[in-house]
Structure 1
Amino acid sequence: MRIALICEKPSLAKRVIDELLFIEPDMDRSAFVVGWANEFYHLNSAFAIPRGQTYQSFPMTREAVYKPITFDGRYFDSETLMSARRGISARYNSKIDNDDFLSSVKRADVVYIACDASPSGYHVQMRVLDWLKSLDANFVIKHFPVMSLVSSDLYHGLVNAREIDNLAEHAQLSLVRRHFDYNYLLNAYPIMGMTFEKAFGKRLAWPLSKHELQVLYFMRHGNSLTESDLFDVMKRWKGTGRYDTKGWDSYYGIGNSASRSDIMGNLKAQGLLDRAGKHSLVISSKGERLLRFLHPDCEDPDQVMRIYSWAQLPIEVAKEKVDRYIKTFFGKQKRFLSKVQMDSNMELENV
């Protein structure tokens, strides 16, 4: 039997492979292939942001559009896998969508999809499923929501793997979040790009994310924190206290365990945060300057909670609330920016 395994990340693949050997003892190890979706690592770069829109047409909202999903398998080498994975042939050192890997997946009898049992995990399972169905092959697809990395839990999860019918229901929070993220970026490119140009004379290649902006505002209020303390603040983000997050499933605060380091790293790389002493971070003069070019209502410490609360509503109602928020947020900033001028000394004036 030919088996293909598509995982959320390489570390998960390592754990699942051993258990799969027991579940599928007759599988053809020479035909075994593994891959993981690139967008787990690149997140919003999976969006297909349209180009060629006029500045006057913003703010706008639309349904999220994604680039074709791609997969990667370059994180394992043959020697490691041969010794640690009981002889399985490591044929996946190149991308899954090259001719060899793609044809291997098409020839598989069974394709397992192993992702975290989280809204984002179910969302990417939906994307992977759409990709698999586009291949027009005859394999059986089995979903495996990973609840735990304990061997016995992985084993029982694989035994009970099946095609899940209600993926959209499980993915609701991620669908609403991605609708927000897509439309935030759609408008941030032109409007926040113009903001940076007025503030510093040039645009950023990539606009600040919604989380980076709110963390920068947080640091503006006289906060001097170590990176670990700021990481903890993001994890336990409480906003203004208006929302009671106790009992909220899948609420992770600002970002997640993987992206919080990127949030801090990007703010430092752009010069918006500075070192204070050996270990602490503070907002920089550049960061202060940027915030003076933003409408006061761009500061919204409850933003992440709003998105979560909207995700509890029917999907179309949630999207309407997102659309209204995005148009208001960027509409205010665009009007505010039209009143801001920059003199030859790069000093801020409101006119």
Structure 2
Amino acid sequence: MRLAIVAEKPSIVATYGRVLAEFYPDVDFSEVAVFHTKLAWFTGNRRFYFPRGLKWQDFPYVGDPVYRPIHIDATRPVKGIKGLSDRRVISAEEGLKALHAADLILLIVDPCSRGIHLAAKFLGDHFDTVPWDRTLYPWTPDLTDNGMRRSLAGARRPDQFAMPLISIGENMRFFDFNYLVNSFALTGRSVMEEAGLRGPIPSKYGLQTLYDARETGELGDGYRIERMIRWRGTGKYDHDKYDGLGSPTSRGAIVEQLVKGGFLARVGPKTDVTDGGRRYLDLLHPNCLDSDLPFRIVDWSALPPPEARAKMTRYLRTFFGKQKTFTESRRKGVRLSHPSR
């Protein structure tokens, strides 16, 4: 049998290598093609094509996401699995041929909407129709050997159980795309320049982390990330039902991006908000502070796409509309009052 594997990152394939041969004894693992999707499609800037030529009057902007294709060579394809065979880097052409020739495509991705949505986009970029009939998705919350065995034994076709998760992922990307487009114009370079900052624009969760850092003062990275993990927002939401602010893979990167942008500075082993970071927040409408945003996005994303997009659109137009009005009024020297959203 010819096997191909779509995996978010190389480490999880090596971990699965401990048990794969038990389930696929007739596979030549030196010929198994492996594609690492997260290496090709990690951040918003690399994920989307953004609209060009937008003018100030076009904001707040809301439109359908336009995705960049996930090129095979960007997934750093290899043949072979560590622990089961030697590995060698292969070309995009060889990778595409192996993907199309596979009798079975195994999706070894995280057990969440982000993982399966990413895999589905990759397959959709390289097949006219996604071959769900020869694709299995082992749901893997437990990477112990027995946990992986249970996942492989119970692996199912994604179209039999995971389509709602793909829909959630698509809803989340709708929000991400439109937040990014608007942030470039309304909370991005021009505001940063006024604050004396240069560097990466804060992400949606980076901005909320910056507000939180202004309240906490100096904190070590471990404590700051712990606050993100245990994020409570305003207390309106039961935080135990959510994943906190950001994801396990993004939280450290969020802090580092704020440091790189000059919003936070390292003070020994700790970080604190810089003067520029404080000036930046002063240039934003007060309602840009929304510590419940991660909970809102999770709840909206679970809705049917038309309803999810309607709620997200209303939020985005309100959030960035207030910032646009605030910027225009401030530049005209008009002082505004700011009722709560």
Q: Does 1:155 align with 2:149?
A: yes
CA contact (8 A) 1:62 1:183 kept: yes
Which residue in the other structure is 2:37 paired with?
A: 37
Q: Give the Cα–Cα distance (whole angstroms) in 2 for the partners of residues 285 and 100 of structure 1.
A: 52
Which residue in the other structure is 1:294 paired with?
A: 284
Secondary structure at 1:336's aligned position in 2? helix
Q: Give the Cα–Cα distance (whole angstroms) in 2 for the partners of residues 275 and 15 of structure 1.
A: 35
Secondary structure at 2:17's aligned position in 1? helix
Once the two structures are superposed, the pairs formed by residues 254-333 of structure 1 within 5 Å of their partners are 254-276=245-267, 278-333=268-323
Secondary structure at 1:274's aligned position in 2? strand
CA contact (8 A) 1:254 1:304 kept: yes
Q: Give the Cα–Cα distance (whole angstroms) in 2 for the partners of residues 77 and 224 of structure 1.
A: 47
Deviation at residue 234 of structure 1 after TM alignment: 0.6
- Whichever residue aligns with residue 51 of structure 2, its letter is P
Gaps of 5+ in 1: 343-348
CA contact (8 A) 2:7 2:107 kept: yes
Secondary structure at 1:146's aligned position in 2? coil
CA contact (8 A) 2:213 2:272 kept: yes
Which residue in the other structure is 2:109 paired with?
A: 115
Q: Give the Cα–Cα distance (whole angstroms) in 2 for the partners of residues 114 and 161 of structure 1.
A: 10
How many residues are matched?
331
Q: Give the Cα–Cα distance (whole angstroms) in 2 for the partners of residues 328 and 174 of structure 1.
A: 23
Gaps of 5+ in 2: 336-341
CA contact (8 A) 2:133 2:157 kept: no
Cα 1:173/1:256, change in 2 over 3 Å: same
Which residue in the other structure is 1:177 paired with?
A: 172
Secondary structure at 2:195's aligned position in 1? helix
CA contact (8 A) 1:37 1:70 kept: no
Q: Give the Cα–Cα distance (whole angstroms) in 2 for the partners of residues 50 and 203 of structure 1.
A: 23
Deviation at residue 53 of structure 1 after TM alignment: 1.6
- Whichever residue aligns with residue 14 of structure 2, its letter is K
CA contact (8 A) 1:32 1:89 kept: no
Cα 1:115/1:77, change in 2 over 3 Å: closer
Once the two structures are superposed, the pairs formed by residues 63-82 of structure 1 within 5 Å of their partners are 63-71=64-72, 72=74, 74=76
Cα 1:223/1:302, change in 2 over 3 Å: same
- Whichever residue aligns with residue 116 of structure 1, its letter is D
| Structure 2 length-normalised TM | 0.87
Cα 1:108/1:268, change in 2 over 3 Å: same
- Whichever residue aligns with residue 57 of structure 2, its letter is Q
Deviation at residue 213 of structure 1 after TM alignment: 0.7
Which residue in the other structure is 1:334 paired with?
A: 324
Which residue in the other structure is 1:12 paired with?
A: 12
Which residue in the other structure is 1:346 paired with?
A: none
Once the two structures are superposed, the pairs formed by residues 74-223 of structure 1 within 5 Å of their partners are 74=76, 84-86=82-84, 88-91=85-88, 93-94=89-90, 98-134=92-128, 140-165=134-159, 166-192=161-187, 193-200=189-196, 204=199, 206-223=200-217
- Whichever residue aligns with residue 120 of structure 2, its letter is M
Which residue in the other structure is 2:339 paired with?
A: none
Deviation at residue 56 of structure 1 after TM alignment: 1.5
- Whichever residue aligns with residue 64 of structure 1, its letter is P
Q: Give the Cα–Cα distance (whole angstroms) in 1 for the partners of residues 28 and 131 of structure 2.
A: 18
Identical counterparts, % of pairs? 30
Cα 1:136/1:210, change in 2 over 3 Å: closer
Secondary structure at 1:69's aligned position in 2? coil
Q: Give the Cα–Cα distance (whole angstroms) in 1 for the partners of residues 301 and 223 of structure 2.
A: 29
Q: Give the Cα–Cα distance (whole angstroms) in 1 for the partners of residues 169 and 79 of structure 2.
A: 33
Cα 1:129/1:102, change in 2 over 3 Å: closer
Secondary structure at 2:320's aligned position in 1? helix
| Structure 1 length-normalised TM | 0.85
Cα 1:9/1:257, change in 2 over 3 Å: same
Q: Give the Cα–Cα distance (whole angstroms) in 2 for the partners of residues 66 and 74 of structure 1.
A: 19
Q: Give the Cα–Cα distance (whole angstroms) in 1 for the partners of residues 283 and 98 of structure 2.
A: 53
Cα 1:256/1:317, change in 2 over 3 Å: same
Which residue in the other structure is 2:51 paired with?
A: 50
Secondary structure at 2:222's aligned position in 1? helix
